[in-house]
Structure 1
Amino acid sequence: MKNMTINEIKSLVEEMSEGDPLFEQLHKDKRKGVQKIIESYNRNLQKKKKEKEDFANLTEFEKKLYKQGFSLLAGIDEVGRGPLAGPVVAAAVILPKDFYLAGLNDSKKLSESKRNEYYDVICKKALSIGIGRIDAEEIDSINIYEATKKAMHQAIANLQIKPDYLLIDAMKLQTPYPQESIIKGDAKSISIAAASIIAKVTRDELMKEYAVIHPGYGFDQNSGYGTKEHLTGLKRKGVTSIHRKSFSPVKEAYLK
Structure 2
Amino acid sequence: MFDSEALFELEPAAAEPVGFAGLARLPLSELVAPDWAEALAGVDAQLRGVLEFLAGEVAGGHEVLPSPSNVLRAFRQPLAGVRILVVGQDPYPTPGHAIGLSFAVDGATRPIPRSLANIYKELDADLGLPPRVHGDLSRWADQGVLLLNRVLSVRAGAAGSHRNRGWEAITAAAITAVANRRAADGAPAPLVAILWGKDAGSVTPLLGAAPVIASAHPSPLSASRGFFGSRPFSRANGLLQEQGGGEVDWELPPLP
Q: Which TM bucket (shorter chain)?
A: under 0.3
Q: Which has the larger radius of gyration?
A: 1
Give the TM-score normalised by the residue count of structure 1: 0.26
Structure with the bigger percentage of helix:
1
Report the TM-score, using the length of structure 2 for normalisation: 0.26
